[in-house]
Amino acid sequence: MFITSDIKVWICNEPTDMRKSIDGLSMMVADSFNLQPANGELFVFYNQYRDKLKILYWDNNGFVVWYKRVEKSKFAIPATLLKPLAINTKQLRWLLDGLDISKLKGHNGLEYKDYF
């Protein structure tokens, strides 16, 4: 998956039927997220047991779906999301690695104009 650090990532606020493919997930983005599925952002969907994830995104000329299933654990997705949750790509990496993104906070980014 070729993503840059400035891409917005959205986590769906409810479990998703993992039998849905690109068309079904795209319709969920339009309905649940109220966003255009081909806007260049990543959309994360998870199942009821939180052991499967699908990530939908638009790649230049078509949709891509990434699917990950963990064998003996669960993804640490917040239990109650009232609306889709926006995260950054660092938090997505943490989520895919099994870390609880609601309890982690990375270092703030710094930007310097002068280096001496």
pLDDT digits (tens, 9 = 90+) for 3-39: 677 889 999 988 999 999 999 999 999 988 889 999 9
Q: State both tokens at 113.
A: 């104009």
- Characterize the bridge pairing of strands 9-11 and 42-46: parallel
Backbone angles phi, psi at 97, to 5 degrees: -85, -5
| pTM recorded for the entire structure | 0.85
Map out the domains of the chain as residue ranges: 9-96
Per-range mean pLDDT, top range of 5-9, 59-63, 102-106: 59-63
- Give the closest residue to 53 by CA, choosing from 90, 18, 103: 18
pLDDT at 2: 64
Residue 64 amino acid letter: V
Rg of the chain (C-alpha set): 15
Distance CA 100, CA 94 (A): 7
Mean pLDDT score of the chain = 88
Residues 6 or more apart from 67 whose CB is under 8 A from it?
A: 18, 52, 53, 54
Structure-token pair, residue 91 = 């938090």
State whether the Cα torsion 55-59-63-69 is positive or negative.
Answer: negative
Q: Which of 47, 38, 51 is nearest to 19 (CA)?
A: 47
